[in-house]
Amino acid sequence: MTLIYFILILGIVVFIHEFGHFLFAKRAGIYVYEFSIGMGPRLFKFNRKKKVKNKKGKITYVPDETDYSIRLLPIGGYVQMAGEEVEADEKIPEDQRLQSKPWIARFMTMVAGVLFNFLLAIVLLFLIGVFNDVTLDSTKLTEIDPQLYPTLKEGDRILKVGGKRINNYDKLALELTVQGDKEFTMEVRHANDKKETVTVMPKAVNDEEGNLLGYEYGFKVDGDTYHSLWGAIRFAFGKFFSMIEQMFFTILYLCTGKLSLNMLSGPVGIYNVVGSASEQGFLSLVSLLAMISVNVGFINILPLPAFDGGHALFLIIEKIKGSPVSPKVENTIHNIGFILLMILMVYITYHDILRFF
């Protein structure tokens, strides 16, 4: 079942992302060659029928120009549009090519996949809040070891870890990961609003074979539990923005060396996480789907070659300079970025295999 869940989760995330590009491309009147879920060899394709009304008002159904494809590897997908290539396809009318469309239509087509990923995550988080109790403000201390922290009480709130501000559980988890096994300071606020700084010494937790499982800190955290429509709305948007913040600082810490590339997970790592989530129940899988959707959206909006954000960046440069960037130059940069991305994927997958197998 883990494999089925894995394919479904990645398939849904990719489908929603590519459907965003596809929908805005179609609305802009851009000719779309292919809408593909998955990469690699094509397993099958189909063409849907679309309505065409002639001058006399008669409606007929003709094959849509777009090939709808399912490909072998469930690790991505794409929408292939006329006008993305260096050499113009003369078989396609000029007014149906990407370059002929207004700037805002091209920009929205490029970022629509990210917007749809974010929208999917918010909807899923809201549904979790509707059908389940949700916990907000999860930075309150509970189950405190009095020998380690004699002055702390349950209900005290964590404000900072290692000098970094904490306002949600996702940021707390990230900052604790950054600290690793090093001793660090933690600032808390007591019930009387007084603040105190305490020293935390993480204790490593290993499995029977000596592999590191994580760290113990001598306390746990919790928050206030709600089950209401307003609580579901607060949870959906609060959790969404905390995930965005966590992704931002994760990328920042990777760039500054505070986190290792080995912390990243590729398809193999995601497969293992899906397996763990499936053991915890359906809502855990839905929560994981929301998290992956946010991650995919955030990574794609980064202004880097081969990502949606890279394409959007070239459109912004075009807007600033008043003329398009050379298609040959842009495609070369994106191709180089794609090659580097594939190298990174191989590196991450290699370390995933070493970690889990």
Give the residue numbers annotated as catalytic, written as ranges.
18
CA–CA separation, 309 and 255 (whole Å): 18
Measured CA angle at 263 (ends 261, 268), to 5 deg = 100
Give the span between the Cα atoms of 314 and 323, in whole angstroms: 11
CA angle 229, 173, 141 (to 5 degrees): 70
By the 10 Å C-beta count (0-12 exposed, 13-18 middle, 19+ buried), 106 is classed as buried
DSSP annotation of 258: S
Output phi, psi for 40, to 5 deg. 85, -155
* Under 8 Å between Cβ of 201 and 219: no
Report which DSSP code applies to 192: T
Measured in whole angstroms, the distance separating CA 185 from the mean position of its chain's CA atoms is: 31
- Written as one letter, the residue type at 79 is V
Classified as helix, coil or strand, 306 is coil
Residues 166 and 242: their CA atoms lie apart, in Å, by 10
Amino acid at 244: I
CA distance 225 to 137: 9
The candidate with the shortest Cα–Cα distance to 134, out of 219, 243, 228, is 228
Residues 6+ apart with CB under 8 A from 23: 112
Residue 67 · residue 45 · CB < 8 Å = yes
Q: How many CB atoms sit inside 10 A of residue 179's CB? A: 20
